[in-house]
Structure 1
């Protein structure tokens, strides 16, 4: 296998874009997701289209053993990822104390935080030993602010950005880089799966392909952070958000995430 990319959440909207981008470059892939049927269908299509070697690992990324299964499978099969794209993740709208269940939020923490952390704990040592490797961690512009009605999701993305940035510095001069992709809202299945399709937050969602390209190209260059997908007033609002009064900012985010707010 050559120029191997391990991509989690490969058959989602953004994940599919990463598969197509890497396939167009002639790179082989290890696709990771929960559904073996969806992985098989994606692998078959991408193999026929790009004539690359593709393997799959079906695993539930919310389980604590998921990362070890991925790593052990790669070790046993002698699959050596040159690139790791931690793309899998999900959100979910609702009041933390009164609407969201324990399982919903703990599963989100597992997929968005615990499993990508475990994956890098296992794979980074091998990359460092080889003296080369690229990591792209998919975070979100949600990382720069609190997110009432998506309290846990926003917090997981704050973790991912902080964690990734710290690794970027720790890995300096090793030949391994960690890039953080921070997209704004995109027109993927994410919104409907998280109950956000009818919110103002997703009213002007952007296409995922330009976002994926920006992230992939930033990863190739070893950039620290790549912010992508901003439209209209978002380009002004996001850089200013850390300077806004915190209570005003949270009120604004809260209002944008109310169901039905897209119609107002």
Structure 2
């Protein structure tokens, strides 16, 4: 039975990237769609394709959500069409690259704040009220891994995503006695048009980007399960999140600054670049090592509760060893810790996937 039949999902930023991939997933599951973005023509092409391929009804609303009261206008159009929004996806967002003091423009940052913060908040305010009245609904807010880390050279963008993440977690608590759920999606750098629009096409972070289809799939799964947050991808991305909590913020900021800098530097800066690279690589290794220790420690604790007496003593010894290495800043603990995660997972009847889910919940 298709429980999504007759339900409608509204997706902002639906014309490309993660928003587009999420729209595909909703369409495949039979949701009717309301697609919101600035490009009317592109949205209409997508609507025609979705309607033909999946037999759903797709409504297009061309709107620049960085404009004043744009969210209210979207809401009014939805009401005029007599549509009920069962799922709201606040995906639209932009970045701005450069040093805040003297390289970025205020008008652009003001529009960024309006889109990432005000539009997301107002869209949520308008549609959440109806969801609570029906005691039914889901919201997915696009945060970012940088919502929990410093992000030099994109300081305002990171600050807006920190707002989105905090806002989402607060709403989850307020809604705990209802059947309405809110989920924060925290992707790492993703292969979308984000860096191009932000003016950051040549930074190191673009060398390692995740697939937007993968990000959307993990986000969609978490949304449907009513989870509070999801960090898409493998264990490495999850260790980045843990590192943000356990490593000194100065070290995290230095690492993120390095990832955000241009790939090619002038010749006269080569020596300095090499020094910075070594320092930041060391910080990364140290931070990921500590994060891996934390993740492996939780994994061992989970395995411990599902083990025999003999195995429990063995896990106690390994957990003590991890603590000893962590206390000494053991930079190469990551390799051993990841091995321990794998080993500990064998003691959990449902395998590594369930173990990682437990680890993710435990470190919330």
Instruction: Give TM-score, length-normalised by structure 2.
Output: 0.69
Alpha-carbon RMSD across the aligned residues, in angstroms, is 1.7
Larger radius of gyration: 2
Partner of 1:153: 157
Residues in 1 aligned to 2:213 and 2:250: alpha-carbon distance in whole angstroms: 34
Q: Where in structure 2 are the equivalents of 1:91-240 lying within 5 Å?
A: 91-229=95-233, 232=236, 234-240=237-243
User: 1:71-125: per-residue Cα shift (whole Å, max 9, x none)?
Assistant: 1111111111100000000112111111110111111111111001001111111
Aligned partner of 1:89 among 90, 93, 114: 93
Residues in 1 aligned to 2:68 and 2:232: alpha-carbon distance in whole angstroms: 31
Runs of 4+ in 1 over 6 A off after TM superposition: none
Aligned partner of 1:63 among 64, 67, 74: 67
Q: Quick check: 1:254 aligned with 2:261?
A: no
Residues in 2 aligned to 1:87 and 1:241: alpha-carbon distance in whole angstroms: 23
Task: Give the superposition deviation at 1:236.
Answer: 3.1
Instruction: Give TM-score, length-normalised by structure 1.
Output: 0.95
Greater shift in the superposed pair: 21-30 or 186-195: 186-195
Residues in 2 aligned to 1:231 and 1:138: alpha-carbon distance in whole angstroms: 20
Residues in 1 aligned to 2:41 and 2:248: alpha-carbon distance in whole angstroms: 48
Residues in 1 aligned to 2:135 and 2:224: alpha-carbon distance in whole angstroms: 15
Task: Give the superposition deviation at 1:196.
Answer: 2.4
Tell me if structure 1 keeps the 8 A contact 2:146–2:158.
yes
Q: Where in structure 2 are the equivalents of 1:4-23 lying within 5 Å?
A: 4-23=8-27
Tell me if structure 1 keeps the 8 A contact 2:231–2:238.
no
* Greater helix proportion: 2
Aligned pairs, how many?
263
* Greater strand proportion: 1
Q: Which runs of 5 or more residues in structure 1 are unaligned?
A: none
Q: Which runs of 5 or more residues in structure 2 are unaligned?
A: 266-272, 278-364
Residues in 1 aligned to 2:9 and 2:264: alpha-carbon distance in whole angstroms: 39
Task: Give the superposition deviation at 1:230.
Answer: 5.0
User: 1:204-251: per-residue Cα shift (whole Å, max 9, x none)?
Assistant: 10101111011111111110011113575x443331222222222212
